[in-house]
A and B are shown apart, each in its own frame.
Chain A
Amino acid sequence: MGALDALKGFKVTFKQIFEPRVTSSYPDEKRPKPPRFHGRHVLNRYEDGMEKCIGCELCAGVCPADCIYVRGADNPPDHPVSPGERYGFVYEINYLRCIHCDLCVEACPTQAITESKLFEFSFTDRNDAIYTKAELVVRDDGKPQQLPWEDWREGDDLLTSGWMRATSPAGVADQEGRRHWSGELGYGSRAPERGQSGLDPAEASPSLELRKEEAAKIPVRFGGRAR
């Protein structure tokens, strides 16, 4: 026991006094959100204004909270809503149920549904909590609509459609150098990310190269290349 022992106990405290402060005075001041933040959804459109949603209901099927309701319909031939045969005729998300897990975004085959970084929206009416297509579809400039009860901050509406999947259709997590979304309205594009899996491509899962290698092992009489 020495005289300095008391100070020793404050070692961490003193050290932290000179560190930069991390506490922010929310809600006056807000911290920047990470690029993959899961906030309120948007329904994206293509550059020509057509909706990306094709009403396939995969988002509704995968939703663990059962908060999405979709109905598809035939595209009217003279005024098509989306490219192709089918469009989302009804699209509703109940935000009293949504847990922002983003499985809908993973499931969407056309990147129609993505998430903005807005999470501060509270309602005084339960009906306001059910967002319909009229509220979810992006504006003509490609940015999300801003509803009266939503607290949008700078940057919340950027890169909303530039979301990148955690998985790829072939199950390859390594997305290096790939951009999976198409040209679209507004603020979509983001630079491709570095590889995510960190695995050797050969270990990840069957790829084109891997199948070529496999074919080399299969005897010619079975259609392979091995002699």
Chain B
Amino acid sequence: MTTPSPSPSPSGAAEVGGGAAQAGASGAAAGDSGAAPQEVTITLDGREVAARPGELLIAAAERAGVYIPRFCYHPRMRQVGMCRMCLVEVKGPRGFSLQPACFQPVANGMEVRTESPAVKKAQDGVLEFLLVNHPLDCPVCDKGGECPLQDQTLTFGPGETRFVEEKRHWSKPIPVSSLVELDRERCIQCDRCTRFAKEVAGDPFITFQGRGDHTEVNTFPDRPFASYFSGNTVQICPVGALTASAYRFKARPWDLEQVESTCTTCALGCRMVVQSSSGEVVRHLGVDDEAVNHSWLCDKGRFAFEASTAPSRRTHPLLRSDARLRPVSWQVALSEVAGRLRAVLATDGPGAVGVLGGARLTNEDAYAWAKLAKAVIGTDSVDAQLDDGLPAELVAGLPPATIADACAAKVLLFLGPDPREELPVLFLRLRGAVRDHGLDLVELSPVDTSLTDLARASLRYRPGQLVDLVRQLLGSLPPANPAVAAARDRLVAGGGEGVVVALGRSSIAESEEQTVAAAGLLRRMLPGATFLPLLRRGNVRGALDAGLAPGLLPGRQRLADGGAFATAWGGLPGAPGRGARALLEAAATGQVRALFLLGADPLSDFPDRSLARRALEAVELVVSVEAHPNASSEHVDVVLPAAAPSERAGTTTNCEGRLSPVGQKVVAPGLAWPDWAIAVELAAALGADLGFASPADIVAERARLAPLFAGVTSAVLAGTVGRMGALLPLRGRGPDGELGEWPAGATGGLERLDPMAVPGIASVESQGAPSEAGVVRAAGPVVAAPVGGRMAAGDDGPAALLSWEPPEALPATPPVDAYSLRLVAARRCYDGGTAVQASPSLAALAASPALRAHPSELERLGVASGTKVAVRAAPGRLELVLEADAGVPKGVAVLGAVPPAADAPGASALVRAGDPVTEIRLETLEAG
């Protein structure tokens, strides 16, 4: 699709002049510059239309309402001119000649004919040739009904073919990975999938092979298409050559319904449509959002919807009796919870109640739970993070940067987990920024990550020594090597203006103090720098903004400043409560007697498994509001079944603070309720009235009380902001009078989609195979979100930031123990997480846990890669397979944080909560 910012074409080659060089991700910069882009005029079919300099003819024509058929052209990839379908006549010195419109930048005064007899003849010929070997098995093909080849053949092609010979044959679908099937007979060699794999994802595992009519797309022998992004090739395939095994024969386009939504699998918040058939979600497709995901999704976000229909899904309230969870009615479950909670409150007061989790909830759900916890129960011991994120005040208190800012930064200091594992589409955005305009990426990481090859400087630090490295980068310590010195010079120039820091926890085997101290140093020494928090889990930013954090109230308000809430809610907790770690420590010693788990699984996700286990065993009443059973379920006393994504509507907030809608497409199975309704009913069982009869009531109260959400009313959410998402707080009014942040020159925000960019969305929008397919009829569901600039200091309107005081004292650097390795524990994309494990397509992809260390460590130990060794750490001992990995520095070992099987050894069994670093020692096992 096209976007309000300058040409979305990532090509640098086609750009003319300096003004257009800011294309693509740097839309925010273009908005700030204020200079209106120069326009050129072209004559299109005898009509004068305006175009942007450097824009490709095919995109300019589309904005002018002339659709030029195409297969290989995709607005988010470099053009290759493979398919020749977009041939148009362009006037040159020797008259009109046929030119591919996807390869022709517009020039002033250009004359173009798209409907002349010569063009028609060319289109006929191209389509006839494309169909020479195409099997025309449309009735069997999953693409039938939404197929660009089918649609464009009907619209532009010849009625019949002259070709009567036998077609080329290949064996019918072959799996190129466990998620994607390839039918080479249908392939028209448009180079979309191979280009995506090579250019966008950087996983060139599929490629063209053979010559002439034996050209085929295929994987390399014995090398599957093992990419986290393989589903995108299915999404952009213009024929049915690549199909998703999860969608195979599930539905036809004309019996699909769709709703726009936002993926909450990770905190990036990719925009997507959810498509369902017969009341069952069958497919997710990426929506092109300029600000966030550029139409891509990762395979986890694309296929994890399978979890919502998994047989293990919670559908009824469960109550533990005789050591087993048995189904009961809602009334029995709620009155049991209320009765036991009243007993706890009567004897030990609200401080003995804790609430953990909430990242699975929508913003409205989180608000209702925050009100239940803080106003009705009266506890402030509420934490949406499980000690694996960043302090809520830091997230809300650092000057924010958007993803677009990070991609357009002068220097991007990346200090966090491997984005390909934790925020996969952010990796695509960063990779695109490096590829297209040479983003200066400086990575600080304990081990090699997916960014190492992309970064201009990838600087290693031993766990526990991050602050030392940051001080070297800021010039307070002498640089350890020339690479640090070079990065330092680029970083500190101009007081950090234009520097974006992507900040997250690269390992949960370290406590957060090093990361917090590093953020404080960067904040103080680089006053111009902005920060993009890299948080774990879906809507964790939204949960923090809704007050699911100790000491905070909805809308980034401190508990102490919450006068409006105290009045409206009828009381607030007197003292700040405990965070996740303190809460579990208190629970383990019996000070916390009732614990609510809002989709949280402390046993898997909390860094210290033994503390989590002791806490869950000690707590008298554990209530889990969950959609799926998890490792902690064996300690749960009451299960309240909650609605999963696509089963309830609301909003979500991604890691950059962008509010966007989540849509409801199906109804929750069994007796599962949305989380806000559970909070309301539980409050009623406790004798209180939250005052919410619907999410609209929550939205209204939130807009009234929480300054951050000022203007976020139901009407605004139903309008463009609700459709496209917007950064909070809303500022200014858009062209249609709505609140929101708008880039300069945006005209209404909504733009039509390129129907061939994600064929599955346009076809469902128009319902069925239209005779004029490819022509967008109405403003489709796909819109470009406004590119948010950063919030200006001193702006009018509600305060965007909490005041956050960086800690003055630097943490001590833990001394290095030469006999130990320092553990790095980070999540993998496919691991033991609930969504992955409950999705049949993904569960098998989760790798078994292995400890990875530098080959020299294995030499020192005298074992071969793949040998089982004993791993000893403070909390206990594990036996793990040890693998050699040259990407892991000496003195460091890497282990996945959440292993695939619940009882398999994971890093959390080796970590002691609060320790600055985790030292492990390896020992060989006795033979036999």
Interface residues of A (CB under 8 A from B): 54-58, 60-61, 71-74, 84-86, 109-110, 170-171, 205-208, 211, 218, 222-223
Residue of B139, B158, B172, B278 ringed by the most chain A CB atoms within 10 A: B139
- B172's nearest neighbour on chain A, judged by CB, is A85
A57/B162 contact (C-beta < 8 A), A84-B140, A218-B121 known: no
- Other 12 A-B pairs with CB < 8 A, given A207-B160, A223-B125: A54-B139, A57-B252, A61-B252, A71-B278, A74-B249, A84-B140, A85-B249, A86-B249, A110-B139, A171-B159, A211-B160, A222-B118
The A interface, classified by DSSP as helix, strand, loop or mixed, is loop
| Contact (A72, B160) CB under 8 Å given A85-B172, A109-B139, A222-B118 | no
Asked if B173 and A85 make an inter-chain contact with CB atoms under 8 angstroms apart, the answer reads yes
User: Which size class do B's interface residues fall under?
Assistant: 20 to 34
B138 — which chain A residues lie within 8 A by C-beta? Answer: 109
B248 partner residues in chain A, CB cutoff 8 A? 74
Chain A residue at minimal CB-CB distance from B98: A222
Residues of chain B within 8 A (CB-CB) of A58 are 139
- Say how far A199's CB is from chain B's closest CB, in angstroms: 16
User: How many angstroms between the C-alpha atoms of A25 and B140 in the bound complex?
Assistant: 48
Which chain B residues border A205 with CB–CB below 8 Å? 159
By a CB distance below 8 angstroms, the chain A residues around B118 are: 222
CB-CB < 8 A to A86: which residues of B?
Answer: 140, 249
Q: How far is the CA of A206 from the CA of B160 in the complex (A)?
A: 8
Which one of A72, A109, A206 lies within 8 Å of B159 (CB-CB)? A206
Bound CA span A205–B160, Å: 11
Chain A residues with Cβ under 8 A from B140's Cβ?
54, 56, 84-86
Among B112-126, those with CB < 8 Å from A are 118, 121, 125
Q: B144 within 8 Å of A by Cβ? A: yes
Contact of B137 with A72 in the complex, beta carbons under 8 Å: no
Chain B residues 270 to 298 lying within 8 A of chain A, measured CB to CB, are 278
Chain B contact surface mostly: loop
| Residue of chain A at shortest CB distance from B252 | A57
Give A82's nearest chain B residue, CB to CB: B140
Is B254 positioned at the interface, with any CB of A under 8 Å from its CB? yes
Chain B residues within 8 Å of A84, by CB: 137, 140
Q: Which residues of A contact B139 (CB under 8 A)?
A: 54, 56, 58, 109-110
Contacts of B254 in A (CB 8 A): 57, 61
Across chains A and B, which 5 residue pairs bring their CB atoms closest together, nearest first?
Answer: A56-B139, A72-B249, A109-B139, A57-B252, A61-B254
Do B249 and A73 touch (CB < 8 A)? yes
Q: Which of B427-470 touch A at CB < 8 Å? A: none
Q: A54-B140, A85-B173, A86-B140 are in contact. Are A208 and B162 (CB under 8 A)?
A: yes
CB-nearest residue of chain B relative to A55? Answer: B249
Question: Given A74-B249, A86-B249, A222-B118, A57–B255 Cβ distance below 8 Å?
Answer: yes
User: For residue A171, which residue of chain B has the nearest CB?
Assistant: B159
Are A211 and B158 in contact (CB-based, < 8 A)?
yes
CA–CA, A74 and B137, complex, Å = 15
B768 interface hit (Cβ, 8 Å): yes
Contact with A along B489-527 (1 / 0, CB 8 A): 000000000000000000000000000000000000000
Q: How far is the CB of A216 from chain B (nearest CB, A)?
A: 13
Residues in A with CB closer than 8 Å to B173 are: 85
A222 touches B121 (CB 8 A): yes
Which residues of chain B have C-beta atoms less than 8 A from A223's C-beta?
Answer: 121, 125
- B281, chain A: closest CB distance, angstroms: 16
When C-beta atoms are compared, the residue in chain B nearest to A208 turns out to be B160
User: Across the interface, which residues of A come within 8 angstroms of B159, CB to CB?
Assistant: 170-171, 205-206
Residues on A with C-beta less than 8 A from B278 are 71
Q: Give B145's nearest chain A residue, CB to CB.
A: A61
Contact B158 A206 (CB under 8 A): yes
Question: In the assembled complex, which residues on chain B have CB atoms less than 8 Å from the CB atom of A170?
Answer: 159-160
Q: How far is the CA of A208 from the CA of B172 in the complex (A)?
A: 30
CB proximity of B527 to chain A, nearest CB, Å: 61
A108, closest chain B residue (CB)? B139
Residues of B contacting A207 in the complex (Cβ-Cβ under 8 angstroms): 160
Interface flags for B698-740 (1: CB within 8 Å of A; 0: not) read: 0000000000000000000000000000000000000000000
For A73, what are the chain B residues with a Cβ–Cβ distance below 8 Å? 249
**Max count, chain A CB within 10 A of own CB: residue among B158, B160, B768:** B160
Output the residue of A71, A110, A205 with the most chain B CB within 10 A. A71
B121 near A56 with CB under 8 A, answer no
Closest to B278 in A: A71
- B140: nearest chain-A partner, CB-CB: A86
CA distance A109 to B137 in the complex (A): 10
- The contact string, 1 if C-beta is below 8 Å from chain A, for chain B 829-862, is 0000000000000000000000000000000000
Q: How far is the CA of A207 from the CA of B158 in the complex (A)?
A: 10
Query: What residues on B are CB-neighbors of A55 within 8 Å?
Result: 249
CB distance from A57 to the nearest CB of B (A): 4
A85-B173, A86-B140 known; A56 vs B252 contact (CB < 8 Å)? yes
Q: Given the complex of chains A and B, what is the CA–CA distance between A208 and B159 in angstroms?
A: 10
Distance from B487 Cβ to chain A, minimum over Cβ atoms (Å): 54
B255 touches A60 (CB 8 A): yes
The docked-state distance in angstroms from the alpha carbon of A206 to that of B162 is 12
A57 to B146, CA, bound (A): 14
A58 CB → nearest B CB, Å: 6
Closest to B254 in A: A61
Q: What are 15 contact pairs spanning A and B, CB under 8 A?
A: A54-B139, A56-B139, A56-B144, A57-B254, A61-B145, A61-B255, A71-B278, A84-B140, A86-B249, A205-B159, A206-B160, A211-B160, A211-B162, A222-B121, A223-B125
Q: Which chain A residue lies CB-closest to B183?
A: A85
Chain A proximity of B183: nearest CB distance (Å):
9
- Give Cα A55 to B250, complex, Å: 10
Cα–Cα distance between A119 and B138 once the two chains are bound (Å):
33
Most B-side CB within 10 Å, residue of A72, A73, A74: A72
A84 to B183, CA, bound (A): 13
Q: Which residues of A contact B252 (CB under 8 A)?
A: 56-57, 61
Q: What are the residues of chain B within 8 A of A206 when measuring CB–CB?
A: 158-160
B232-272 near A? 1/0 per residue, CB < 8 Å: 00000000000000001100101100000000000000000
Q: Which chain A residue shows the least CB distance to B768?
A: A61
Task: Compute how far the CA of A43 lies from the CA of B848 in the bound complex, rounded to whole angstroms.
Answer: 49
Q: Which residues of B142-181 have CB atoms within 8 Å of chain A's CB atoms?
A: 144-145, 158-160, 162, 172-173
CB distance from B747 to the nearest CB of A (A): 37
Nearest chain A CB to B663's CB is how many angstroms away? 24
Distance in Å: Cβ of B618 to nearest Cβ of chain A: 50
* Residues of chain A contacted by B768 (CB below 8 angstroms): 61
Q: How far is the CA of A171 from the CA of B771 in the complex (A)?
A: 14
Give the distance in Å from the alpha carbon of A161 to the alpha carbon of B278 in the complex.
Answer: 31
Interface centre among B140, B159, B255 (most CB of A within 10 A): B140
Q: How far is the CB of A49 from chain B (nearest CB, A)?
A: 20
Cα distance A118–B118 in the bound complex, in angstroms: 54
A109 cross-chain contacts in B, Cβ below 8 A = 138-139
Give min CB distance, A213 to chain B, whole Å. 13
Min distance, Cβ A106 to any Cβ of chain B, angstroms? 14
